[in-house]
Structure 1
Amino acid sequence: MIDGVKMRNMFVTMSDVAIDLDCIDFQHLSEQINTLPDHIKIWLENSNPTGLNPRKCYAVYDPKGQLVRVVYVYDSNDKFWACASLFDQIPADYVYRLPTNLSQEVQVDLMITWAMAAYSFRTYKTTEVESQPRLSLDLNQQTLYQQAAEPLIESIYLTRNLINMPCEELTPSQLARHSQHLADEMGARCEIVSDIETIRTDFPLVHAVGRASKNQPQVIKITWGDPSHYKLGLVGKGVCYDTGGLNLKPGQSMLGMKKDMGGAALVLGIAYLIMKQKLPIYLQVVIPAVENSLGSESYRPGDVFYSRKGLSVHIGNTDAEGRLILADALSLIQDDGPLDLLVDFATLTGAQRVALGPDIPGFFSTDSQISQQLMKSSETTVDPVWELPLYTGYKDYLKHDIADINNIGSIGLGGSILAALFLQRFVNKDQPWVHVDFNASNHKNMPARPKGGEAQSLRAWDHLLKQCSL
């Protein structure tokens, strides 16, 4: 799941042929330019008479046209993303010496964004990989990389890889196998429910959504850590492909539905990060994995099913399937008692993207302290999230005449709020809970964020969970 070969090739140790790389802060430009050798300063001044600009790379060549040095002007106001544009601008085919005069925080951020920018999903490409620049680290930087950068890079790569895999290669059973492999690698316990009759009886909503597909539904549970530690439950929506069911999606909307398991990918990425860093957390992960397909066994608008919790659910729309499988998963993860925090992640509603756009995950919470901490972590890491209201005044829109609850609202407004309110019915009253509704992908190429699957909010959650587990 983690492209280890590619990752090793992004960094080398103590290269003898490395070219000097200078990173200077635009906020202290005059002062830091004066630290450069005189001939470099003269070259920069002569080559750029209007001055140097932030987020720009300047290559310095000798009279023979040989690259001898690179100067990158970053803006410290960009914080984590200060060096995000470096990889795409710096000349390829060279190894560069990571500056040692940068703070450790900037060095780590540079390593992480360098790796994020170097990422490409090439599993199905038959052409040769284009040459890429590499960073040379000294021994102290190598240690810093292993301790502070590598866990995050690997988690991001894991999440991106899973989201980018086509559904033919990532069926529910294959997602279960990836989860089992991850658990085995990290010394965790993984239980997989694949027997269709067991799923029918124990997870009726998961069964209803997944029963029409030849790729049968799976329920995955990973457990790791000391039960005396901070108890964290993570639930990830694992819809490996979503046609919309009988409420069929339009063709263009269906094209990107391989990423509808982005919630499952993100919880596996966060789980890997927790286990890799050996955080003092007792971790439970539940992933309901299904394909929402068309067929003679498809569930129908107007059907009523009993959930694992016992609530009856009326199906108002078969394309609101994610909340159904999450409902059974939320019930399962609470079976062993209360958690210090329960979080579910899902590519759940288009309404969330209408409200916040594709780059900002929205979240709903029953715990104001956690909400405040998450917003602060988001600001600190520059990994955006935004709280949306869990407005109880809309609960009546989920009522139904013949069932306890409808899976869609009776009005076509406030869709992300109504989805969160639906899920809340399956969360125990005093259980601290956060629901994250997000896009799981970059809609275009951005610095260090190539188009495709993305581990949105992973760094913010890493920062928060380190605080919670203290």
Structure 2
Amino acid sequence: MTPTFAPASADAIPLTALAPDALDGWLAEAPDTQAAWVRASGFTATPGSRIVLPAPDGGIAGVLAGLGDAAARARSRFPLADLANSLPEGTYALGGVEDAALAREIALGWLLSSYRFTRYKQAKPAPARLVAPDGVNAAETEAIAAAAMLSFDLINTPANQMTPAALEDAVTSLASEFGATCAVTSGDALLTENFPMIHAVGRASDVEPRLLDLQWGPEDAPKVTLVGKGVCFDTGGLNLKPGGSMALMKKDMGGAANAIGLARMIMALRLNLRLRLLVPAVENSVSAGAFRPGDVLMSRKGLTVEINNTDAEGRLVLADALALADEEAPAAIFCLATLTGAARVALGPDLMPFYTDDEGLADALGAASRAVADPLWRMPFWDPYEPMIEPDIADLDNAPKGGMAGSVTAALFLRRFVERAERFAHLDIYGWTPAAAPGRPRGGASQAARAILHHLDATYGRQ
């Protein structure tokens, strides 16, 4: 779906956003009948609350919407976003918001709340549309929302249709839309082109594994590479997951979905950089050809990897893609992956850990996260844990025993494949919203993409 703002109209219904400390001032200036109505209704401008003001003819004279105080707003994101679904049908024009960042957040949240996944079942559209608020770049906000919804759609599509081949179609379609190139290496060509771990993880599936390589932008611009984990379904391989743990594994390509969404944002806004998007697209399946516990795999980089759990496959396919990305020594590599349950235990489904050794990048990503309400939290590349990923018979262990610091050790594993890039960050995302919240429909989630976009925009500017 394509999210859009309503065109400006003199008939748009006034929507006034109020913090609790501004309510008395509004009541003092309002017509007596409206002020009496608001007082009688008990409206106090708590977050997400609203009251419809009746007109003498029985229509809607306006709406008051509660922003809550600063402490209340800190506990949630996308204020007023639920109004897209809860207000009566019509077009609304926002007033009362002087803070430009808050207006942008409200506008984006409103568009995201209009998302519907309709591939298999029809759904009623959101009844309330918003005119782009003053100071909000409508085209930019629509482009960001469209990219986020692309990520939603990719993750929400079940694995019988979101196969590695379908993920290839999504990337090639994106390349065609924006005039990018896309090279695909698949099947046994992965071996001849030296992507042995991508091949090993995906070879048990009936759908061939592949590496998708999209490139866009001026060739002399700074090189920024996105690497997204594209495990379209993860059975766990021969270390088969129990049924309860397999139920959401269609989202194991959430890193790829978010990298694809971020790539779309970058191209739509024409950032001044040379973009490369690498997606190792595989299914981790079970068959006679599946890789096994105890196997030792050779990687593109030449490091050997002992397989102690075939359910730790994401880091294997990412390692080959990261090694390729690193070969051209780009200005930055960002790796996005639904990688570890340990990250969820530590930070839950809504707060995404990121790892980097670059203090400047860490500060920039933290600031970007706060600026665009896309929460990130820095975690450490903890060098004393390096021995945990070093087994006896190979260079690396894909699944250290003991179960402790699982997100950290996975990040340390990936760092071994990046040496030349000027900056590197790995983001261990979840890719899923378990319960609907304002601006965040239940299902596939866009996570970390807007924060990275904000940082890249500030760093490189636009063409």
TM-score range, shorter chain: over 0.9
2:218 counterpart of 1:222: no
TM-aligned CA deviation for residue 402 of structure 1: 1.9
Where do 1:7-406 residues align within 5 Å? 7-8=3-4, 11-15=5-9, 17-48=11-42, 51-62=44-55, 65-75=58-68, 77=70, 78=73, 81-91=78-88, 93-99=89-95, 102-125=98-121, 127=122, 129=124, 132-136=127-131, 144-146=137-139, 148-194=140-186, 196-201=187-192, 202-335=194-327, 337-406=328-397
Query: After alignment, is 430-439 or 82-91 more displaced?
Result: 82-91
Mark the CA change 1:340 to 1:40 in structure 2 (over 3 Å): closer, same or farther.
same
Distance in 1 between residues matched to 2:145 and 2:189, nearest whole Å: 37
Mark the CA change 1:290 to 1:95 in structure 2 (over 3 Å): closer, same or farther.
same
Report % sequence identity.
Answer: 38
Distance in 2 between residues matched to 1:150 and 1:24, nearest whole Å: 25
Match of 1:459 in 2: 450
Query: After alignment, is 196-205 or 103-112 more displaced?
Result: 103-112
Match of 1:432 in 2: 423
Which letter maps to 1:118?
S
Q: Is this contact kept in 1: 2:82–2:438, CA < 8 A?
A: yes
Mark the CA change 1:407 to 1:53 in structure 2 (over 3 Å): closer, same or farther.
closer
1:212-246: CA deviation from partner (whole Å, max 9, x where unpaired): 00011110011111233222111000000000000
2:411 counterpart of 1:415: no
Q: Is this contact kept in 1: 2:116–2:125, CA < 8 A?
A: no
Find the residue that maps to 1:123 and give its secondary structure.
Answer: coil
Which letter maps to 2:412?
L
1:165-217: CA deviation from partner (whole Å, max 9, x where unpaired): 111111101101110110111111111112x2211232100000000000111
Mark the CA change 1:124 to 1:38 in structure 2 (over 3 Å): closer, same or farther.
same
Mark the CA change 1:280 to 1:430 in structure 2 (over 3 Å): closer, same or farther.
closer
Q: Is this contact kept in 2: 1:235–1:345, CA < 8 A?
A: yes
Distance in 2 between residues matched to 1:137 and 1:322, nearest whole Å: 40
Mark the CA change 1:276 to 1:406 in structure 2 (over 3 Å): closer, same or farther.
same
2:428 counterpart of 1:468: no
Find the residue that maps to 1:108 and give its secondary structure.
Answer: helix
Q: Is this contact kept in 2: 1:398–1:410, CA < 8 A?
A: no
Mark the CA change 1:315 to 1:13 in structure 2 (over 3 Å): closer, same or farther.
same
Which letter maps to 2:103?
Q
TM-aligned CA deviation for residue 103 of structure 1: 5.0
Equivalenced residue count is: 456
Mark the CA change 1:378 to 1:76 in structure 2 (over 3 Å): closer, same or farther.
farther
TM-aligned CA deviation for residue 418 of structure 1: 0.8
Q: Which runs of 5+ in 2 are unaligned?
A: none
Q: Is this contact kept in 1: 2:83–2:128, CA < 8 A?
A: no
TM-aligned CA deviation for residue 84 of structure 1: 2.8
Q: Is this contact kept in 1: 2:16–2:64, CA < 8 A?
A: yes
1:360-399: CA deviation from partner (whole Å, max 9, x where unpaired): 1111112111011111111222221111111111111112
Mark the CA change 1:403 to 1:182 in structure 2 (over 3 Å): closer, same or farther.
same
RMSD of equivalent CA atoms:
2.1
1:229-275: CA deviation from partner (whole Å, max 9, x where unpaired): 22211100000000000000010110100000011011111111111
Distance in 2 between residues matched to 1:120 and 1:74, nearest whole Å: 25
Q: Is this contact kept in 1: 2:331–2:421, CA < 8 A?
A: no
Distance in 2 between residues matched to 1:348 and 1:51, nearest whole Å: 43
Which letter maps to 1:356?
L
Which letter maps to 2:138?
Y
Q: Is this contact kept in 1: 2:45–2:65, CA < 8 A?
A: no
Q: Which runs of 5+ in 1 are unaligned?
A: none
Give runs of ≥4 in structure 1 deviating > 4 Å. Answer: 62-65, 100-104
Distance in 2 between residues matched to 1:329 and 1:253, nearest whole Å: 26
TM-aligned CA deviation for residue 157 of structure 1: 0.8
1:386-422: CA deviation from partner (whole Å, max 9, x where unpaired): 1111111111111222211111113221111111111
Find the residue that maps to 2:79 and give its secondary structure.
Answer: helix
Q: Could you state the TM-score of these two structures normalised by the residue count of structure 1?
A: 0.91
Distance in 2 between residues matched to 1:198 and 1:373, nearest whole Å: 39
Distance in 1 between residues matched to 2:279 and 2:382, nearest whole Å: 27
Find the residue that maps to 2:173 and give its secondary structure.
Answer: helix
Distance in 1 between residues matched to 2:437 and 2:101, nearest whole Å: 22
Q: Could you state the TM-score of these two structures normalised by the residue count of structure 2?
A: 0.93
Distance in 1 between residues matched to 2:45 and 2:379, nearest whole Å: 41
Find the residue that maps to 1:426 and give its secondary structure.
Answer: coil
Mark the CA change 1:131 to 1:352 in structure 2 (over 3 Å): closer, same or farther.
closer
Mark the CA change 1:189 to 1:34 in structure 2 (over 3 Å): closer, same or farther.
farther
Distance in 2 between residues matched to 1:440 and 1:239, nearest whole Å: 13
Distance in 1 between residues matched to 2:326 and 2:132, nearest whole Å: 45
Mark the CA change 1:260 to 1:421 in structure 2 (over 3 Å): closer, same or farther.
same
Q: Is this contact kept in 2: 1:96–1:134, CA < 8 A?
A: yes
Which letter maps to 2:404?
L
Distance in 2 between residues matched to 1:241 and 1:157, nearest whole Å: 20
Mark the CA change 1:197 to 1:448 in structure 2 (over 3 Å): closer, same or farther.
same
Distance in 2 between residues matched to 1:468 and 1:16, nearest whole Å: 39
TM-aligned CA deviation for residue 137 of structure 1: 5.1
